[in-house]
Chains A and B, each alone.
Chain A
Amino acid sequence: MFGILRIAYKLLANDRAKFTALVMGITFAVFLMVQMTSMFAGVLSRSSATVYNVGASVWVMDPAVQTVANSIPMPDSVLDQVRSLPGVKFAVPIYSGGSLVKMADGTYQAVTIMGLDDTSLFGRPVMEAGRIEDIYGENGFIAVTDSEYTKIGSPKIGAEFQINDHRAKIVGLAKVSSNGLFGVPTLYTTYSRALQYLPNSRFTISYILVEPKSAADIPAIQAAVARAGYVALTRDAFVRQISDFYKYKTGIGTNLLMMTVISFIVGLSISGQTFYTFILENLEKFGALKAIGMTSRELVAMILFQAGFVSLTGYGLGTGLCATMIWIARARMPDYAAIITWGNLLLALGMVVVIAGISSWFAVRRVLRIEPFDIFRG
């Protein structure tokens, strides 16, 4: 069989023009698809950055909340209620809100302010410089050195700003595991200072972060919170809810779907058609092979091998190209949000397999139909 596949390979690879067109078609389709889905995956992962960075197991929020950035304040009574639930080990509030920072040169910059529970500092970031305890100091704020850090002038410890006419002083630098989507810098302070510096509505708690006694307690906590008119989501469920919001309620998902369909059509029309033309061109020769004594099974094996070889080559080139592009883009723009996930790769592979499947199905049908007698007749 190896020799037969070798013939199959030579028939295809020696036809430089077609082989190139075939591989390019697949490469291009895979590139488009992986690029799009990776961008989207990047956006999705960033949209949940806060959820990952804070790291709580269960989040209690208003039922109308769709993304972590748009919290809806809850009254303090909810916090007391949650704390009194039997399965709750501890529950703390967190503040999350936007504000404007007035920098030394008088310009303004939008920022996200995270207010950590004063007693526990739960949800604290990993410190790079300074001590987390300094956050309690006068006007203490901690700046996150993510890709947005430069927008507030890359402040060092001791730098000062104004937030709503209050003085704010950088007492530490922190890093977070995940960058946000919205392109604004993040500052951490205590919950009480956040309330003090920022104008508030009647209610002040953005989220209640809950640590259950055990995972088994979560359903009961969720039920109790629901009875109180709020929702309690596990970290993963919250991330999923945010992702679903971007996928289904923003048009990004639809666009992505369209791009996927387009890359599929591009791949199929370039490579599928080229493959079919290639088969048609060699059809009589395949008929001659049949006469000589090649079985239908062997002919099908040749075609599947050709389709498979082209597809995998194109797939490898496409994903490689995409990875290189993203790598270059990242090196130039730290902000660039794209991640190639296993899901993306599998999806693209699935698409390639479908393209190869459709192309070879038509090719196989055609080749099985030729009668060696007709070839012999000329």
Chain B
Amino acid sequence: MGEVAIRAEGLTKGFGQGETFTLAVSDVSFEAYRGEMLFIVGPSGSGKTTMLSMVSGILRPDSGRVMIEGEDIWAMGEDALAHFRLHRIGFVFQDFHLFPRLTTAENVAIPLVIQRRDWGEALTEARRFLDIVGLGHRADIPPVKLSGGEQQRVAIARALIGQPDILVLDEPTASLDGDTGRNIIGFVRREVLNDKRCILIITHDARIFEFADRIMTMEDGRVTRIDQGGMAHVAHEGV
């Protein structure tokens, strides 16, 4: 196994107050490694999204720490954390969240634009990443004209363009049909994963378990078990 990419220590998060209080995540600790694809599974409401949000720097834990490369991300200020996410973490959302009024290439270029990269340069780079996800020929049309699977690949290109070393995907295949979902995750496994990168995927979809290195199960806000996935100890190459 590679170096530790992420270390979560005692992560806890509750929502609401009094009667309506829910402890969504309770004292979760784990490590994720560079070069691995870690799946997070478990019943609905078990705290998967809440946990991954804390790990990826978009939801502040009530207690516990998230260490990435030895840095306690929740000790950072708001702007520093935004900067950290921009350069280090790629997000893929269940609903893609692509802007319908921008072209596919412009959507993909957004992280570089936020990084203050030159517009033309960002678009050239976006085309390159669209090529990688096999959509180079779709660069100039709005993403709404693409199929669901294609849109998710655009979203993956957007998540990848900043060359993040951590990629988080929440139910990336939920809006897609079975085969498309499998193809996408297979693609991520083959082309996106590399020795430096750690990919965390929340999923319900048992058909893609074969692509996992490890599978972490959550129940009632706790990690109940971690299993080896279908790809344990498989070497890989990728972008």
A and B: interacting chains: yes
List residues of A whose CB falls within 8 A of some B CB: 1-4, 6-7, 10-11, 14-15, 282, 284-285, 287-298, 371-373, 375-378
Chain B nearest CB: distance from A139 CB in Å?
A: 77
The answer to whether A378 and B94 touch across the interface, beta carbons within 8 angstroms, is yes
**Is chain B's binding surface mostly helix, strand, loop or mixed?**
helix
The answer to whether B97 and A375 touch across the interface, beta carbons within 8 angstroms, is yes
CB neighbors of A among B95-123 (8 A): 95, 97-99, 101-102, 106, 110-111, 113-114, 116-119, 122
Q: Is B86 an interface residue (CB 8 A)?
A: yes
The answer to whether B110 and A289 touch across the interface, beta carbons within 8 angstroms, is yes
Q: Which residues of A contact B79 (CB under 8 A)?
A: 295, 297
Q: Which residues of A contact B119 (CB under 8 A)?
A: 2-3, 6
The answer to whether B82 and A376 touch across the interface, beta carbons within 8 angstroms, is no
Per the bound structure, the CA–CA distance linking A285 and B50 in Å amounts to 20
Chain A nearest CB: distance from B110 CB in Å?
A: 7
Per the bound structure, the CA–CA distance linking A3 and B126 in Å amounts to 14
Per the bound structure, the CA–CA distance linking A300 and B53 in Å amounts to 24
Can you show 20 pairs from A to B with CB atoms below 8 A apart? A4-B114, A7-B106, A7-B110, A10-B101, A11-B101, A285-B97, A285-B98, A292-B85, A292-B91, A293-B83, A293-B86, A293-B87, A293-B89, A293-B111, A295-B82, A295-B83, A296-B78, A375-B93, A376-B170, A378-B94
The answer to whether A1 and B102 touch across the interface, beta carbons within 8 angstroms, is no
Which of B91, B97, B102, B122 interacts with A3 by CB under 8 Å?
B122
Per the bound structure, the CA–CA distance linking A6 and B113 in Å amounts to 9
Indicate with 1 or 0, residue by residue over B25-40, a CB within 8 angstroms of chain A CB atoms.
Answer: 0000000000000000
The answer to whether A292 and B101 touch across the interface, beta carbons within 8 angstroms, is no
The answer to whether A3 and B113 touch across the interface, beta carbons within 8 angstroms, is yes
Chain A residue at minimal CB-CB distance from B98: A285
Q: Which residues of A contact B239 (CB under 8 A)?
A: none
Which of B59, B84, B95, B158 interacts with A373 by CB under 8 Å?
B59
Which of B85, B106, B170 interacts with A378 by CB under 8 Å?
B170
Contacts A3-B122, A6-B119, A292-B114 given; does A376 touch B106 at CB 8 Å: no
5 smallest A-B Cβ distances: which pairs?
A: A293-B86, A288-B97, A14-B101, A3-B113, A293-B85
Chain B nearest CB: distance from A287 CB in Å?
A: 8
The answer to whether A378 and B93 touch across the interface, beta carbons within 8 angstroms, is yes
Q: Which residues of B contact A297 (CB under 8 A)?
A: 79
Which of B52, B83, B102 interacts with A7 by CB under 8 Å?
B102
Q: Which residues of A contact B94 (CB under 8 A)?
A: 378
Q: Which residues of A contact B86 (CB under 8 A)?
A: 292-294
List residues of B whose CB falls within 8 A of some A CB: 49-50, 52-53, 58-59, 78-79, 82-87, 89, 91, 93-95, 97-99, 101-102, 106, 110-111, 113-114, 116-119, 122, 158, 170-171
- Name which of A7, A10, A11, A284 has the most chain B CB atoms within 10 A of its CB: A7
Identify 4 new A-B residue pairs, CB closer than 8 A, beyond the known A282-B99, A288-B91, A292-B114.
A7-B106, A11-B102, A287-B97, A376-B53
Q: Which residues of B contact A375 (CB under 8 A)?
A: 93, 97
Chain A residue at minimal CB-CB distance from B111: A292
Q: Which residues of A contact B170 (CB under 8 A)?
A: 376-378
Chain B nearest CB: distance from A303 CB in Å?
A: 15
Chain A residue at minimal CB-CB distance from B95: A378
Chain A nearest CB: distance from B120 CB in Å?
A: 10
Per the bound structure, the CA–CA distance linking A279 and B158 in Å amounts to 22
The answer to whether A372 and B58 touch across the interface, beta carbons within 8 angstroms, is yes
Q: Which residues of B contact A284 (CB under 8 A)?
A: 95, 97
Contacts A10-B101, A284-B95, A376-B53 given; does A291 touch B116 at CB 8 Å: no
Q: Which residues of A contact B117 (CB under 8 A)?
A: 3
Q: Which residues of B contact A372 (CB under 8 A)?
A: 53, 58
Chain B residue at minimal CB-CB distance from A7: B113
Chain B nearest CB: distance from A3 CB in Å?
A: 4
The answer to whether B116 and A376 touch across the interface, beta carbons within 8 angstroms, is no
Q: Which residues of B contact A377 (CB under 8 A)?
A: 49, 53, 170
Chain A nearest CB: distance from B171 CB in Å?
A: 7
Which of A2, A10, A371 interacts with B106 by CB under 8 Å?
A10
Q: Which residues of A contact B111 (CB under 8 A)?
A: 292-293
Per the bound structure, the CA–CA distance linking A372 and B84 in Å amounts to 15
Q: Which residues of A contact B84 (CB under 8 A)?
A: 293
Q: Which residues of B contact A1 (CB under 8 A)?
A: 116
- Name which of B91, B116, B118 has the most chain A CB atoms within 10 A of its CB: B91
Chain B nearest CB: distance from A300 CB in Å?
A: 13
- Name which of A289, A291, A294, A298 has the most chain B CB atoms within 10 A of its CB: A291
Q: Which residues of B contact A10 (CB under 8 A)?
A: 101-102, 106
Chain A nearest CB: distance from B6 CB in Å?
A: 17
Q: Which residues of B contact A291 (CB under 8 A)?
A: 58, 85, 91, 93
Contacts A291-B85, A295-B79, A376-B49 given; does A3 touch B116 at CB 8 Å: yes
Chain A nearest CB: distance from B160 CB in Å?
A: 12
- Name which of B98, B102, B114, B122 has the most chain A CB atoms within 10 A of its CB: B114
Chain B residue at minimal CB-CB distance from A13: B101
Q: Which residues of B contact A289 (CB under 8 A)?
A: 110, 114
Per the bound structure, the CA–CA distance linking A7 and B112 in Å amounts to 12
Q: Which residues of B contact A290 (CB under 8 A)?
A: 58, 82
Per the bound structure, the CA–CA distance linking A295 and B76 in Å amounts to 14
Which of B59, B82, B101 interacts with A294 by CB under 8 Å?
B82
Chain B residue at minimal CB-CB distance from A5: B113
Chain B nearest CB: distance from A373 CB in Å?
A: 4
